[in-house]
Amino acid sequence: MEYIYHIAVLFCLYGILTISFNLLVGFTGMFALSHAALYAIGAYTTAILATDFGIPFPLDMIASVLVAAVISAVIALPALRVTGHYLVIVSLALQIIVLQVILNWKSLTRGSDGISGVPSYNAFGFAITSPDRFLIVALIALAACYWFTHRLVRSPFGRGLRAMRENESAAQAVGLNILYMKLSTFAISAALAAVAGSLFARYFRYVGVDSFTINETIYVLAMVILGGMGNLRGSLVGAAILVALPELLKFVPLPVDIADKIRLILYGLVLMLILLVRPQGLLPEPRGRKAMLVSVEDESGPSDAGKLLDGEGGRQGGVVLQGSNLRKQFSGVTAIKDFSIALKRGQITGLLGPNGAGKTTAFNLLTGFLKPTDGVITLNGRSIADRKPHELVSAGVARSFQDLRLFTNMTVIENVIVALPDQSGRRWPNLFLHPARIRAEERANAARAMEILRFVELENKAHETAADLSYAEEKLLVVARLLATGAEVLLFDEPMSGLDQTTLADIFPVLRRLAEHGKVVCIIEHNLDVIKELCDEVYFLDEGRTMAVGTPDALMNDPELAERYFK
Amino acid sequence: MDLFLQLLVNGFINGSNYALLGIGFGLIFSTTGIVHFAYGSVYTFAAYVAWFLATSFGLALLPSMAGAIVAAVLLGVACYTLLYRPLELRRAPPLIPLIASLGLNIMLENLNAIIFGSGVRSANFASEVYFAGPVFFTSVHIWQVVSCIAVVAALVVFLRKTRYGRAILAMTDDPNMARVVGIDTKKVSYIVFALGSAISAVAATLTLMKDGASTHMGFIAVFMGFVAVIVGGVGSLRGVIAGGFLLGIVESLGLWKISTEWQSSIAFIVLFIMIMLRPQGLFSIARR
Amino acid sequence: MRKFLTAAIAAAAIFMAGPATAQEPPKDPEVFRFGAILAMSGKGDWYGKVMSRAVLLAVDEINARGGVDGIPLEAVIEDHKSGVAKEGVSAMTRLINISGVQAVLTSFSPPTQAIAPIADQQGILVLNGGGTSMALLGLTDMMFHNRTLASDLAIAAAMRAEELGLGNMAQLAWKNDAGESMIAAADPFWEKAGKSIVATEYMEIGAANIDTQVAKIRVSNPDWVALWTFSPETGLALKKLREFGVKVPLIGVEYTGDVKELAGASAEGYEYATDFFAPSAENPWSEQFAKAYRERYGEEPEFYAANYYENVYVLAEAIRRARAEGGAYWNGRKLAEVIRKSPTFPSVYAKEMTYQDNNVALKQVGVFRIENGEPTFQKFIDLNR
């Protein structure tokens, strides 16, 4: 039955589009609505190459994929400077601009006439012109795209994407390269859309801009959201429903003159009803244990996490991270006026001062989240002026946030695994080049993560969603996540605030043990008791300046400071 | 130079239309967080109601507009009651209303086409042409600018001086905080849907008068309104107005030396560059 | 003379076909089901309305007279959502596989281009009465057009302007295949006539706001403005140009109810060149069609209606001729063959029309002028001049 085959081919095309779009909006959380433009680029590339230059399969499809990926990466670079609604609008603008360029570049694209007479696939003299034959090609392509994307999202790379979606700065703080992940996802998503585009050109044998308007992006977006964001099977379900629904409605007998409008009304109604009944989409994103890449048994395997908890050795008391004469100016406001600090191995340094003194800004400078206006920061004597946060994490400087910034929709153990260093699976080509290595690493990492959780006594909560933890447990998880980075210099932004005495008693030894193991620890803290109990040296900041440096006792006995601050 | 001046004036007039659309759409968006795409269908519906009143009953401009406003308010409030409110109660994630709204838009657009029939409509209200040196404009154009000013003035007074107005501002700033301090966010949502829809009816009647109405006029209208909101900065009235005028003027002047075959992308190229340079919008909420 | 030629060609074609093989008895279907893929929703739904009405009118008329040789016709109306290629292909597949049609009426350029390969491969006769782009020519032998190409209409309009002694031309064109094919035809024609083109402006289909284009046309100081647009934008253009004080002659290629609605009094004096459809005593069929359409739908028929009405009759006539040859005649290829064999058909326009070698029916192009709100016939344009 050719008609059924035709619908099945359409399903395959939209299945690929939905999967690729889900990768972008669902898994990565980037609402770039220029998908139809990339689909168009894929279709036009194949149409032009096959029709005007007689380029055969698979070269045409490869060219489509490359062209779309490159264009996508190029337009992503500026577009990625914005997020949220701005990204939506910028990408819609790109969609319109790309289509207009296609429309007006007549010598290449034949303008509004479109390209007809695109040759069909031809395998050994066997022309793939009918829907049933084409369906085989389309199914293979769909399966390949599904497999590829599935591999991609169920991997350290995919876990990084989810972490980034939850909180970008926290993802940077655990060493993830945001730009790399975003650009990769943009390019891969575009490449997959181009596969669908290439098939489109070969199947319909006609390519014109009418098929790639904003409406098409919206149609695919509806499929993604209907099926469930972040669920690949959901994407297939969403595509199947929205492809089949209009076709099924064709069999509802209606008065001819308004039939197709009534069908669209019914289409809109059904879409709304489904969303009202299932506002989260039909299939939920895999969470908890389902999101894990390895089995539970692997978590209790032998682990070398002990290494992560140790410093790199070297002289206790030696300066590791140093900031000299730092100044930071925001448009008009100078947050840090003159600040110098030296963090030493085996010591716990405290940063003290009233609200707005510039403590968190100082952290941001030391960890690369902000660039100083003036001044030098060195790590083991070498300047780290131009290093990005994730580079500093692998170089050994990591931080936590005052407002925690946990990956709340991920499990406790995932929060830790995502921060572990040296994961070759963070680079997506490795997923396909070295699958065995990645699996072995994953198993080892699950065990390491579990050991770190045992260290902070959260092992019983490993598979709970981070959002379900108590406040104290969240704080412990923050510590665990920071430890997991294996960094030598650990900067904690108010790790103790809001905790009761018993929990404090739990955390104190943890921090002290870290220092004993040769780590460099720095904490921002308001509680003088904590400072007194924990710190070897304290920097007192106010109005962006270092007011005093010394042991906790010395500072607190300073009559001037005592007068002004410690009442 | 004559062309430049004329295009500037055209842009200013179109800008007042975009500003109106942006204000109405933005009021709903910044207060409730709902990307109300079906705003376009409400706008279309209002235009057709105005057309119907003007041609079937021979009503003048203002009574027709009043009728359109009533119709738009009813439809807009119905959208909220029947679709968005239930979604809110079911705690739908933020993007679900957006998709539902697209479904609603498809439905309403086709309903409009069935109720009023396909094809374009125009209402010939009395219109005169004026010349100022080389530049000309019509009384419709004046109406458009005047309505924009009137709506803005009325809205500013409402927002600043009335209890509900202040509640809207509070909810725009922080919906959770608004709820905490005891603002009835449900009631406020109804009010912004009513207000936003009423403003769309003003824009719709004027467009009917200026360019005619078609059942597909809604999409580009809501799109331009959305863009005006984003360019200006979400939650800022000044910003939306500036965004609307900027969009109109840029779109018009952009074609001064460039072929009109680039018309639909010129505004977006500028928009793109603008967002790159100033991603927070012209007037972002400075408190953040 | 032309009539004689056609007859001679027809006779020759029959002769060339050689002595018929032993006549098989015709294999009759229960019903002649055919499809019509039209703009039933979306931006161009007005076209869908007019065209589908005309198709249904023609089918009912033919069936009321007992169908084609006693077998009824049945039309299945499908939607391409105002020109989406993919929708056209889905509709075509459905028509072939579910409705089992052998012939399809089509409109709009993108879906027509997209269904061409299917028609070619599966042997389905395609009759186009709406799409006007040059890109539609030569796609498949299965496709016939009874609508004059937009490019020819543009040349006719330009000829009229030349006749009126107009000089500098400004053009306002649809940003689509039809608009661009008209510019592509008119530009060389006008330049060859030794005159200049002072402005070429484009407008989006469905655009409501063309103030910029109109302002640019106005400052270019043209002697006339060519409107390479179709309904309803032509109406908007007329209204805006007049409103903005452009007083020179406006010449276009179409005038419909929508244009009339939008332009109102601004249409006064507007001239346009079009396939000549006006009910006239000269052709009683035209008057009868106009009357039937008016009675049924309460509106005057547009020439789009006339084209599709006529296409159904072309199909019926082709079936009749194919059936006369016997065998498995209810087959798209067979139908296309009989049309090519003897390409002259009765026309609701001027008595009859003949498909040329490029499968486009040659129709008379006439110039009309809007006087007191109504089109008034001015003269015929001879495109072969």
pLDDT tens track for B33-83: 898 999 999 999 999 999 999 988 888 889 999 999 999 999 999 999 999
Residues of B in Cβ contact (< 8 Å) with C304 = none
CATH of the domain at A324: 3.40.50.300
* Binary contact (A256, C93; C-beta < 8 A): no
Lowest pLDDT segment from C12-16, C150-154, C344-348: C12-16
Instruction: Confirm if B228 and B240 have CB atoms less than 8 A apart.
Output: yes
Pick from C45, C110, C117: CB nearest A114 = C110
DSSP of B54-118: HHHS---HHHHHHHHHHHHHHHHHHHIIIIIHHHHHTT--THHHHHHHHHHHHHHHHHHHHHH-S
Q: What are the tens digits of pLDDT across the range A304-332?
A: 777 777 766 667 788 899 999 999 888 77
Is A566 a residue whose pLDDT tops 70? no
Domains of chain C: 2-148+283-362 (3.40.50.2300), 150-278+365-381 (3.40.50.2300)
Q: For residues A344 and A521, what is the distance between their CA atoms, to the nearest angstrom?
A: 8
For residue A268, the SS3 value is helix
Query: With an 8 Å Cβ cutoff, are B120 and C48 in contact?
Result: no
Q: How many CB atoms are closer than 10 A to CB A307?
A: 10
Cα angle value A560/A565/A566 (rounded, 5°): 95
Classified as helix, coil or strand, A80 is coil
CB proximity C321 to B under 8 Å = no
| Chain B: residue whose CA lies nearest to A275 | B100
Listed residue (A37, A388, A55) closest to A212, CA to CA: A37
Please indicate if any CB of chain A lies within 8 Å of the CB of C87: no
Tell me which of A198, A214, A230 is where a domain ends: A214
- Which tens digit of pLDDT belongs to each residue from C140-192? 999 999 888 889 899 999 999 999 999 999 999 998 888 988 999 999 999 99
Does C113 contact A206 at a Cβ distance shorter than 8 Å? yes
Report the C-alpha gap between A137 and A199 in whole angstroms.
9
Which of A210, A243, A250, A258 should we substitute to test contact with C (largest number of C Cβ atoms within 10 Å)?
A210
In a domain, A7, yes or no: yes
Chain B residues within 8 A of C245 when measuring between CB atoms: 129, 131, 136
CB contacts of C96 in chain A (<8 Å) are 2-3
Q: What is the average pLDDT across A217-233?
A: 91
**Can you give the pLDDT at residue C6?**
52
Question: Which of A31, A89, A272 comes nearest B83 by C-beta?
Answer: A272
Structural domain spans, chain B: 2-277
Question: How far from chain centre, in Å, is Cα A560?
Answer: 48
* Distance in Å, alpha carbon of A276 to nearest chain B alpha carbon: 6
pLDDT on residue B286: 38
Longest dimension (CA), chain B: 59
- Which residue is closest to A103 within chain B, CA to CA? B261
d(CA C34, CA B14): 47
- Judge: C85–A206 Cβ closer than 8 Å, yes or no: yes
**Per-residue pLDDT, C297:** 92
Q: Is the pLDDT of residue C1 over 50?
A: no
3-state secondary structure of A236: helix
Q: Which helix (H) or strand (E) holds B276?
A: helix B263-277
Residue % of chain C over a pLDDT of 70: 93
Helix, strand, coil: what percent of chain A each, to 5? Answer: 60, 15, 30
Asked if B100 and A276 come within 8 Å (Cβ–Cβ), the reply is yes
Residue C16 confidence (pLDDT): 47
Task: From chain A, pick out residues whose CB is under 8 angstroms from the CB of B234.
Answer: 85
User: Does residue C232 have a cis bond before it (omega within 30 degrees)?
Assistant: yes
pLDDT tens track for A354-408? 888 888 899 999 999 999 999 999 998 899 888 899 999 999 999 999 888 999 9
Is residue A79 predicted with pLDDT exceeding 50?
yes
Indicate if the pLDDT at residue C385 is higher than 70: no
Contacts of B251 in chain C (CB under 8 A): 212
Mean predicted confidence (pLDDT) in A466-479: 90
Which residue in the set A110, A130, A256 is minimally distant from C52, CB to CB? Answer: A256
Residues of B in contact with C206 (CB under 8 A): 214, 216, 220
| A101, A204, A262, best to mutate vs chain C, most C CBs in 10 Å | A204
User: H or E element: which one contains B267?
Assistant: helix B263-277
Same domain, A322 and A202: no
Best of A116, A120, A199, A219 to substitute, by most chain C Cβ atoms within 10 angstroms, is A116
Residues in A touching B95 (Cβ below 8 Å): 31, 225, 229
Burial class (CB in 10 A: 0-12, 13-18, 19+), A443: middle
- In this complex, which of A6, A206, A257 lies closest to C52 when CB atoms are compared? A257
Q: Are residues A201 and A322 in the same domain?
A: no
Inter-chain CB proximity A211 and C85 less than 8 Å:
yes
pLDDT of residue C381: 85
- Other beta carbons less than 10 A from residue B11's beta carbon: 25
- Within 8 A by CB and 6+ apart from B264, the residues are A96, A100, C204
- Provide ipTM, 2 decimals: 0.91
CA distance B283 to C304: 51
How far apart (Å, rounded) are the C-alpha atoms in residues A525 and A28? 34
Q: Which of residues 89-118 of C touch A (CB under 8 A)?
A: 89-90, 93-94, 96-98, 109-110, 113-114, 116-117
Chain A residues whose CB is inside 8 A of the B275 CB are 82, 86, 89-90
Q: Which of A78, A268, A280 sits opposite B107 (nearest CB)?
A: A268
State the CB neighbour count (10 A cutoff) for residue B126.
9
Residue that is last in its domain, among A214, A245, A280 = A214
Yes or no, beta carbons of C89 and A1 under 8 Å apart: no
Q: Which range has the worst mean pLDDT, A216-230, A294-308, B61-75?
A: A294-308
Residues in chain B with pLDDT < 70?
126, 279-288
Q: Give residue ranges of A with CB < 8 Å to any C CB.
A: 1-3, 6-7, 10, 103, 106, 110-114, 116-117, 120, 129-131, 204-206, 208, 210-211, 247, 250, 256-257, 259-261, 263-264
Confidence band for C363, pLDDT divided at 50, 70 and 90: confident
What pLDDT does residue C15 have? 46
What pLDDT score was predicted for residue A123?
Answer: 77
Cα–chain center distance at A52? 40
pLDDT, tens digit, 9 for 90 and up, residues A406-428: 999 899 999 999 999 989 999 99
CB-based contact C218 B6, cutoff 8 Å:
yes
Kindly list the residues from chain A whose CB atom is less than 8 angstroms away from the CB atom of residue C50: none
Looking at the DSSP bridge assignments, the partners of residue A550 are A538
Q: Chain B residues with CB inside 8 Å of C219's CB? A: 2-3, 6
Whether the pLDDT of residue C4 is over 60: the answer is no
**Collapsed DSSP state (helix, strand, coil) of residue A204:** helix
Chain B residues within 8 A of A264 when measuring between CB atoms = 106-107, 109-110
As its CATH architecture, domain B2-277 has Orthogonal Bundle (1.10)
* Total structural domains within chain A: 2
- Show Cβ contacts of residue A539 under 8 Å, excluding neighbours closer than 6 positions: A341, A349, A350, A351, A352, A546, A548, A549
Neighboring chain A residues of C113 at a CB cutoff of 8 Å: 113-114, 116, 206, 208
> Nearest Cα to A334, choosing from A368, A369, A370?
A370
Tokens found for residue C206: 């469905």
Closest CA to A9 of B186, C90, C367: C90
Q: Which of A214, A231, A254 is the C-terminal boundary of a domain?
A: A214
Instruction: Check if C205 contacts A (Cβ < 8 Å).
Output: no
Strands C250-252 and C361-362: unpaired
**Would you call A206 and C117 a contact, using CB atoms and an 8 Å cutoff?**
yes
Interface of C with B in 168-227 (CB under 8 A): 175, 200-204, 206-209, 211-213, 215-216, 218-219
pLDDT at residue number C200: 94
Using a CB–CB cutoff of 8 Å, tell me whether B179 touches chain C: no
What pLDDT sits at residue B283?
63
Host domain of residue A539: 311-396+486-564
Is A154 found in the same domain as A13? yes
3-class state of residue A121 by DSSP? strand
Contact between residue A261 and residue A253 where contact means Cβ atoms under 8 Å apart: no
Chain A partners within 8 Å of C176 (Cβ): 112
- Buried b or exposed e, range A214-228, using 16+ CB within 10 angstroms: bbbbbbbbbbbbbbb
Q: Is the pLDDT of residue C17 over 50?
A: no
Other C-beta atoms within 10 Å of A474: how many? 19
Interface of B with C in 134-173 (CB under 8 A): 136, 138
Question: Per-residue pLDDT for C10 more than 70?
Answer: no
- How many helices (H) and strands (E) would you count in chain B? 12, 2
Q: Do the strands A537-542 and A348-352 form a parallel or antiparallel pair, or are they unpaired?
A: parallel
Q: Using one digit for the tens of pLDDT, what is the confidence trace for A165-194?
A: 999 999 999 999 999 999 999 999 999 999
Q: Residue A534 and residue C218: Cα distance in Å, rounded?
A: 81
Q: Which amino acid is at C114?
A: A
Helices (H), A255-388: 259-277, 306-309, 359-366
pLDDT value at position A35?
Answer: 95
**Lowest-confidence range among A145-159, C76-90, C125-139?**
C125-139
- Do C58 and C309 form a contact (C-beta atoms < 8 A)? yes
Whether the CB-CB separation of C171 and C195 falls below 8 Å is answered with: no
Distance between CA atoms of residues B216 and B204, nearest Å: 12
Q: Residue B77 carries which side chain, given as an amino acid letter?
A: V
Query: How many Å apart are CA A325 and CA A340, to the nearest integer?
Result: 5
How confident is residue A567, by pLDDT bands cut at 50, 70 and 90? low
Compute CA A207 distance to the chain's CA centroid, rounded to the nearest angstrom.
34
> Which residues in chain B have their CB less than 8 angstroms from residue C179's CB?
none
Instruction: Select the highest-mean-pLDDT range: A119-128, A489-498, B188-197.
Output: B188-197
Contact yes or no for A33/A89 (Cβ under 8 A) = no
Confidence of residue A510 (pLDDT cuts 50, 70, 90): confident
